[in-house]
Amino acid sequence: MNAIPVETPHAAARRILGHFLAEGYLPTGLHEYRDAQGNPVFWRARCKHPDGRKEIRPFRWNGTRYVPGEPPAPPEGKVLYQLPELLAANVEAIVYVAEGEACADALTALGLLATTSGSSSSAGGTDWTPLRGRRVRLWPDNDAPGRKYVVDVAERLCALGCTVEVIDIAAIVPPLPDKGDCVDWLSVNLEADAVAIGSLPLLQTTLDAACADTCHRSHVELIRGNRLIPEPVNWLWNGWLAAGKLHILGGQPGTGKTTIAMAMAATVTRGDSWPDHSPSRRGNVVIWSGEDDARDTLAPRLLAMGADMGRVYFVQGVREKGERRAFDPAIDSDVLQAELDNIGDVVLLVIDPIVSAVAGDSHKNAEVRRGLQPLVDLAQNQRCALLGITHFTKGTAGREPVERITGSLAFGALARLVMVTAITQARDGEAAKRFLARAKSNIGPDGGGYVYDLQQLELHDFQGVIASSVRWGAALEGTARELLDDAERQDDGQGQDAVGFLRELLRDGMQSAKDVYREAGEAGFSVDAMKRAKRKIGAVAVKRGGHFGGSRQEWTWQLPADNCTEGSEGSAQNNAPPSTPSGDEALPSWNQ
């Protein structure tokens, strides 16, 4: 908790400007910059010497005391002077922008709405978005920095859709002195009021040309690294769904991808618990599906899983020039953005299928990135998780899960997190089961997953309406590649035979991994078959021999302690320290 200031801002200003005051400077102003809620952010103290020299020093409260300097600006830029007054004013009112707080205060004293970003070089580091779309009138100082400041501000305001005007200081009476500003003009026009200021001549034509040039000229937007404030990933579901990020959910048809997405949506609308029992942030969900009907498929599934339907919005179409047409995620992200702004608190956006967001060839990386970027930008702007549903490409079993996503590799590359679904085959007396696995994550851990089952329920309040719902099961370990390989392998008896072979091989004690793979190969078993058998019987991989990290160390396999022969090599009596296996220890050249 921050300490309560024992020094006032005025006292702090005198302390910080102390050596100037000792040299004969006189304090001329203390200006407070506040955020949208009216909380002080920093102050700028001014003093002036009788010979005309000026000094300005910003300072801030650091939680303990007042210290020199402005606080680090947020990524969007520092606040405008008198920001709360700007936000509270009628949006039709003209906003006057001048160079410096003294000028803004002088105009405010006349009943005008005025602001500034501070000095002549401050336009680029300021957040001008509170003035978006408004009518703004600029009053430049009569010097080169003043003219440059007006151009800098005008370019930024034009880009925000503002109507921008500039007072023609060469035509006002009396003319401004060299380096003069609006305070100087008002000091000799003591009768001037708001009406007089509003009647001053403008440089309308020149500015129109400048604005047109600004709006049509391409430029690269840069942000200085020291203005960025690191922030944590904002998780809806820790490790699985993140605000402002693109997620891909892929799998074979019939595995329940859309139902999984509806389960996630239902959880968000209720603020309920995820499969790992962590709580979800509660919010609104927007869903577009080009494959399933909202009335007979999606809404029933959401209801079956207890969704708060008042927080669910289905995209039905686009109204354009009085006509209704189908929504196209490839071209309608702008109008969708506007609706999401109106809804507010949207934390999950579902697009099914995500390939529909690409207007061009979905197998070309450049076109996929170009097509997805507007939706990715929308998710970032809204701070909502974007979940795109897609299929696996046929004939890709055995490949890396991300490579199996239909279309270009850019789908998986642009997504920050890729999830996959699959159904295991019934084997070894076990029933078939579905699972969700995490195939890739650029923002958290990958691997692992959850078993789930799909149940058919009749809705209580809607007779005859049957819907699928998700019932979550146990957590799974392993990579998505391992889980998919195990689920999709053909059960030709080799799996059970491999289990028996490996158990028999290890029954008399530990074996080097090289020997296991060699003997398995001679017996007709693949490396993957041995890995699956190892997991099945719970065999332990241990690095032994030589010194830690030395070239003479090798991986060995052994049965778990309760299956080892008492006193045999590799039993619980062996006290060599285990090492964590890599999963690809000692692979032979015949790897299949």
- pLDDT band at residue 2, thresholds of 50, 70 and 90? low
What percent of the chain is modeled with pLDDT above 70?
86
Q: Return the number of other C-beta atoms located less than 10 Å from residue 311's C-beta.
A: 22
Residue 482 pLDDT: 86
Q: How far apart are CA 56 and CA 74, in angstroms?
A: 22
> What's the angle, vertex CA 354, arms to CA 351 and CA 355, rounded to 5?
150
Tens-digit pLDDT profile for residues 511-566: 888 888 888 877 777 787 888 888 888 888 887 765 555 556 788 888 886 554 33
Q: What are phi and psi of 46, to 5 degrees?
A: -120, 145
Q: Contact, 447 vs 435, CB < 8 A?
A: no
Q: How far apart are CA 21 and CA 554, in angstroms?
A: 76
Residue 97: is its pLDDT beyond 90? yes
**How confident is the prediction for the chain on average, in pLDDT?**
85
Q: Which of 129-133, 427-431, 445-449, 484-488 has the lowest mean pLDDT?
A: 427-431
Sign of the CA dihedral running 16, 19, 22, 23: negative
Q: How much is the average pLDDT of 251-257?
A: 89
Q: How far apart are CA 316 and CA 240, in angstroms?
A: 28
Q: Contact, 539 vs 581, CB < 8 A?
A: no
Amino acid in position 429: G
Q: Contact, 554 vs 545, CB < 8 A?
A: yes
Residue 489 pLDDT: 65
Q: What are phi and psi of 419, to 5 degrees?
A: -115, 150
Q: How far apart are CA 545 and CA 359, in angstroms?
A: 59
Residue 87: is its pLDDT beyond 90? yes
Rounded to a whole number of angstroms, the distance between the first and last alpha carbons of the chain is 61
Residue 576: is its pLDDT beyond 90? no
Q: Three-state secondary structure along 375-425?
A: HHHHHHHHCCEEEEECCECCCCCCCCHHHHECCCCHHHHHCCEEEEEEECC
Q: Which helix (H) or strand (E) holds 209?
A: helix 204-216
> 3-state DSSP call for residue 48?
strand
**54-61 and 66-68 beta bridge pairing:** antiparallel
Q: Contact, 287 vs 244, CB < 8 A?
A: no
Q: How far apart are CA 458 and CA 82, in angstroms?
A: 59
Q: Residues in the chain, how many?
A: 592
Q: Contact, 476 vs 519, CB < 8 A?
A: no
Q: Which residues pair with 386 in a beta bridge?
A: 246, 349
Q: Return the number of other C-beta atoms located less than 10 Å from residue 266's C-beta.
A: 25
DSSP type of residue 126: B
Q: What are phi and psi of 255, to 5 degrees?
A: -85, -10
Residue 133 pLDDT: 92
Tens-digit pLDDT profile for residues 170-192: 889 888 888 899 999 999 999 99
What DSSP string runs through 75-97?
A: TT-BPPTTHHHHHHS-TTSPEEE
Residue 429 pLDDT: 64
**40-48 and 26-34 beta bridge pairing:** antiparallel
Q: How far apart are CA 468 and CA 301, in angstroms?
A: 5
Residue 431: is its pLDDT beyond 90? no
Residues 6+ apart with CB under 8 A from 47: 17, 20, 21, 25, 26, 27, 28, 54, 55
Residue 588 pLDDT: 37
Long-range (24+ apart) CB contacts under 8 A made by 213-217 are 214/154, 214/155, 214/158, 214/159, 215/158, 215/159
Q: How far apart are CA 112 and CA 101, in angstroms?
A: 14
Q: Contact, 401 vs 418, CB < 8 A?
A: yes
Q: Contact, 46 vs 31, CB < 8 A?
A: yes
Q: What are phi and psi of 303, to 5 degrees?
A: -65, -40
- pLDDT band at residue 420, thresholds of 50, 70 and 90? very high
Q: What is the pTM of this model?
A: 0.53
Both tokens of 74, joined, read: 């947020």
Q: Contact, 392 vs 355, CB < 8 A?
A: no
Residue 131 pLDDT: 95
Residue 570 pLDDT: 35
- Helix 513-522 × helix 527-537 angle, to 10°: 120
Which strand ranges, in their side-by-side order, compose the sheet holding 434-441?
312-314, 284-289, 346-352, 385-389, 246-251, 417-423, 434-441, 449-458, 466-476
Residue 331: is its pLDDT beyond 80? yes
Q: How far apart are CA 76 and CA 380, in angstroms?
A: 14
Residue 572 pLDDT: 35
Q: Contact, 407 vs 372, CB < 8 A?
A: no
